[in-house]
Chains A and B, each alone.
Chain A
Amino acid sequence: MNTRLLFLLLLVAGAQHRAYCQRELRGQVLDAHTDLPLAGASITLVAARQTVTTGTDGRFRLAPAPTDTVLVTYVGYAPQRLPVAALPGEATVRLVPKDGMLTEVLVNTGYQTLPKERATGSFTHIDGKLLDEVVAPTLLEKLEGITNGLQFDRRNMLSEAPADGATGRIRIRGVSTMQSSEEALVILDNFPYEGDLDAINPNDVASITVLRDAAAASIWGARAGNGVIVITTKRGARQAAPQLTMTSNLTIGDRPDLYADRSRLPSATLMEIEADLFANRRYQEFDQTPIPAYAELLIKKRDGLISEADFEAAKARFAQSDIREEALRHLYRPSASQQYAAQVLGGGTNQTYYLSAGYDRNARITIGDRDDRLTLLARHTFQAGRKLEIGTGIRYAGQTIHHDGIPLQALTRLSTYNALTEPDGAPAAVVYDYRLAYQQRAEGLGLLDWQYRPLEERDLVSFAERRGDLQLDGSAVYKPIAGLDITASYQYVQGAYDQNRFADAASYRARNLVNRFTQADGTRIVPEGAIRETPLVSESRAHSGRIVASYARNWAARWELSALGGAEIRQHRETGHPGFTLYGFNPDTYTGTNVLDYATPYNTRPVGTARIPSHFNSIGERTTRFLSYFGNAALAFDRRFTVSASLRWDASNLFGVKTNQKGVPLWSVGGAWQATDAFRFRATYGRSGNVNHGVSVYPTIGYGTGSYTQAPYAYLTSAGNPSLRWETVSTANLGMDFSLLAGRIAGSVEYFSKFASDLIGEDRLDPASGIVSISVPQVTNLVNYASLRTEGADIQLNTRNLSGKLGWQTGWLFSYTRNRVKRFNTAQVLNAESLLTANGIPQPGRPLDALYAFPWNGLDPETGRTLIYHADGSRATDYRQWLRDFPHTALVEAGVTAPPFAGSMRNTLDYAGLQLSATVTFKAGHVFRRTSMLPGGISSFIHTYHSDYLIRWQQPGDERRTVVPSMLPYGAPATANQEDRVFRASEALVTKGDHIRLQDVRLGYTLPRAVSSRIGARSIQAYGYLRNPGLLWRANDQGIDPDFASASYPAPLTTSFGLQIEF
């Protein structure tokens, strides 16, 4: 037969067919359990061999012949076959999850949502259910232990507030920068989020996706180099009945373990040391010098101001008291956090809605510290005609944080034997800014009472921060033809922040200021009375706009193309206003005075001259602007082969003019191959960037107002760099996903290699150039020049060990990273010291996190001094000379401070509505430098103590049991305290960081439906949760929790109870 004729016939038949048989079929695919839309589900017309996929809202549109059959499929769900004739024009298809199949994971890149099975990049997806199971102080902390490749870096946490939400920094897959921010970019509802993550109600979060490789992240361009965390909030669904969820939980935290602080010595020991210091005349008895209470007692005894009996009585009282006992009673309490949230979601034929409110109230561990947060979220979508959908959203978060507490660490002058209360229970006066004897004398000099009583002060001074965030967004999706969506979206975020401080007239804060500025003739420069202060007021405003066209099309049921392209414009502006202070403030009438002479330097007591403290005299305003164009496309064949590519061009006022002109794009390519049903392989390569906000492209000067001249002056801030550009991170990723035994064993193995180049670093110059290290404000000279390679592997394994009445699942996470500095040029002269400091100079060929140390040779058996040797092997005694001669190449690389190995194991058991889960985490392969007693630490100017004093070398033979040198005798040449530097940086104090931690245990119970339905609820769930039960094992023998090695105490155990009811 003539083929051409046949073709013509078919065409006519087809056209005819179309002409009168087709009708439009519209519909939505939902999860049968949750009624949430399923995006990316396939709708195939079996006879016509035509396939479409559902959009993000789960909706689809088809024109089937009435005789055809629709096949609806979605990974992890049982497929459904439905005759077209049986369907209404507007059909809702509810798919039931296949038992024993993992639900399909949808990953959201912030630009698009796609099934993980069709993505080539590396994503970690955390769904709302898993997030809900973890109770943590902050949203980000919830990710710990359940997100592969994400690590909390707590190495530099000094604060005592680990339990109060101090999370440390986050690293995704190791490090990819040196001096710029290591923070991952956070995307909230499709736009970069610059606010405080604490302002997000965790109950509003539908899912979190972490984008780890170039194909995943490069769509975010110049800011994606550290990885991207995409947070998606919940939304309503079309034609879904209203669903109301109410949750409430209470978390109680233990008091802090103050005895974990190794910088404290027992009272009796401390008194011996102070007596010794006193005998050696180490206390300078000036009015302005705080002297410890026991030393004051000794001074009184020396001067005959106290009887022998009184002295002995006071001494005995000191020896028996320990300030930590009192602190636990008077300064700390068990923390209590309450969280309440309610949400309603649903939708009609033309609209969807989501409404939510949350209220949190936290009483922190330090008495006086408390905060609360109110969050509101409303989202609405509305179908305006067939082709246009309008979406709007409003989010509000308001926080108030009170810092009235006085942690023990703030009372730096207090010795262990000090008391916070008098024997009769009244607040005790303690040594604070000046000598106690002087403060006690003040009233006799015609001044106000000058004593500081911490327990009284706490009630008289208040300091609060307030933060309010308002977000408005709108979007319009226009669908002119099938497969093409044009989305225009806009977001506005306004943040306001202020601080308020009030000091009562009776407070030390107010009295101190009055007294300091009381002149010799009794004139009070600062008026007596309360002080009301607003140190800082700031606000931020961000506008973001985006237009994206996305196109998806299937051919012949085998080829699938999806592509998007668009542009984005963004401005973020932060303004800081100078604050104000009202003196002599009347809290009833809210009036005071601020008309004081801030320019004149006055004589102050006890010594010196000073001006009345005033506020900034300039308004700060920082604006960052971005302009970006982007596109990506993925083509899949037969659902087995997928290729993808992306391209993005960024310009910003953070970069130099030359960089913006050059316009080097960031890009990625990737491919995936579904080899068998069980195995899928992925490979990607691409480049993203990282920006540094702290560097200026212009040679800049800053302006201020001179205190001497009261006239404007300018200062140099940057030498300028017109070629400044973003740092570039090139990432290669190889991955394999597997699913065996009908999904009972599933997981992924990934290898990555990141090469970070053009890293910004300080190019140190000869000080004779005028660019000097010790000046304030520092003049910077930063250029793009360094490079770094990070590589590693992420392994994730989920096993369903038992399924049936008793279910048992295990999730394993394991990650490994290592890095090597490839290039780092510095003009700075290298010496041992420059490698030993906390942020030492990176060494090419060595890890960025390397910890260097002096070799340890033990202690001298005769004297207990640290043994050092010259290069030729002879014994050295002059520590200073030895330090100067020590070549940096002879330092020992003692390990890395960031753990190369990390992971977790999470077991979940469920039986008849009961669910028990526990997470065990580990970190391994890293070291840290523990603190210790310094041989010269006590006799030097700032007397520093450490509990290692108790195990120091004291007599020959001790060198066999301790590494802590003996104390330097008083009167030793001052250069001898250079031994401190040798010992502090020696191998002896390098401590293994390996540990295994039981992170949390959770027991949940879902009431039988029969019970819950009795009160009209769809489900009722109650749970109890323990967080930080503690370490199961640690490699170090010193009893130090390596995650909190520099903090005053480890995160206390918290216990939570919660209830969730769905109607």
Chain B
Amino acid sequence: MHFDFQNMNSYQLDVLREVSNIGAGNAATALSKMVKRRVDMGVPTIKLLEFSEVGAILGDEEKIVAGVIVPVAGSMNGVLLLILEYKDTSNLVELLTGKKFSDFEAFDELALSAIRETGNILAGAYMSALAGLTSLSVKCMFPDVSIDMAAAILSIPAIGFGMMADKVLYIDSDFAEGTDNVKAKMFLVLEADSFEILLRALGAIS
């Protein structure tokens, strides 16, 4: 039978949620080690979105956020996108570098590099958990950071994988440092065919 990620059954959705939970759990542990604090994680949610809905995932489309995009390539193709609002970004940078910044525009190369590296480490932890569970080979590519309007950043993964279908699936994971000083969101967006490869490797497609 032809697999369509826009019409997954409840078992397949459960499997996807569980595998994301393990990936995000590994990323939360990695973040905890980086900031040397406890990091809590919410249960990942699966969002099957119309393209027109993507820009408003965080509410305000024009809110300025920091986004780190990490392309994923190999047996599966996609991107991981880490998103932080200003207060969280600034607290994270301070935890990592000891430097305080008054606003996004004040961030220097060191701050941007700390944000980029956080995305890199979290994405690596997330994908290595997925690779371990599935025995699929996936590689995280070089990360890049952008500070801009939420909708402009959130749209990039959708555009990359918008060719094949009328909807796009974002797997949304939330992280919060123990005292809520740093909250972050991570989205996994895969190419349409990669969902089938992932679910097949996990035995959720017969």
Tell me whether A and B are bound partners. no
